[in-house]
Structure formats: structure tokens, C-alpha cells
């Protein structure tokens, strides 16, 4: 599987990463090489084998339905570039 320049541009946009057009060809080659490396796994016969979801033999931990967090407006918005009355404030995003 190899990526073309247009796909690289699209992935970059979806990830909100700015990739100048001049770098896109090069990046396409690099990503293609990575995909080719990983594609070696396709050679293994996995017929009838369930996908592995974790390498550890742990069960998912469950929490009880108890309120033990929150009430921390200042800490929550502390890193926001702008805040008003406890709200995060961002440039207008509206339909």
C-alpha cells in the first residue's frame, strides 16, 4: 500500500497538522515505507484468530457510580487562552 500526495494532504487536514505542499511528496514516501514495513504482518495466516485487543491479561476495571470529582472550575479552565464566567471562550464556531 502506498500513499499519494493528495492522501497525505487529506490526512494532514483531518489531523489539523499543517504540512506545506513542498513537504508532501517526501512525507508520502516515508509513510508508504512505514506501511510497507507493517504490511509484512499480512503474510501471517490469521484465519480464525480473533483480533488481539491487548497484550496484558487484565480485565477492564469498573468504577462504582459515585460522584467523587468535579467542582473545580478554576483548575479546569486554567489553561484556556480565554475564559469568561467559568466558560472556555473560543473563536466563533457556528453553522
- Name the residues that contact another protein, by CB under 8 A: 10, 13-14, 16, 53-54, 56, 58-73, 75-77, 82, 84-95
DSSP 3-state of 21: helix
Q: Which is nearer to another protein, 22 or 81 (CB)?
A: 81
Q: What count of other Cβ atoms lies within 10 Å of the Cβ of residue 62?
A: 6
∠ CA 51-54-57 to the nearest 5 degrees? 115
Q: Which is nearer to another protein, 44 or 94 (CB)?
A: 94
Q: What count of other Cβ atoms lies within 10 Å of the Cβ of residue 8?
A: 22
Given a contact cutoff of 8 angstroms between Cβ atoms, the answer to whether 75 and 40 are in contact is no
- Tell the smallest beta-carbon distance from residue 18 to another protein (Å): 14
- Tell the smallest beta-carbon distance from residue 56 to another protein (Å): 8
- Tell the smallest beta-carbon distance from residue 82 to another protein (Å): 8
Amino acid at each position: 500500500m502506498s500513499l499519494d500526495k493528495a492522501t497525505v494532504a487529506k490526512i494532514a487536514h483531518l489531523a489539523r497538522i499543517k504540512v506545506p505542499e513542498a513537504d508532501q511528496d517526501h512525507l508520502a514516501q516515508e509513510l508508504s515505507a512505514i506501511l510497507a514495513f507493517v504490511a509484512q504482518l499480512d503474510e501471517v495466516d490469521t484465519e480464525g484468530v480473533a483480533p488481539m485487543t491487548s497484550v496484558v491479561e487484565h480485565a477492564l476495571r469498573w468504577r462504582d457510580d459515585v460522584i467523587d470529582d468535579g467542582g473545580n472550575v478554576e483548575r479546569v479552565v486554567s489553561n484556556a487562552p480565554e475564559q469568561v464566567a467559568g466558560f472556555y471562550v473560543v473563536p466563533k464556531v457556528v453553522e
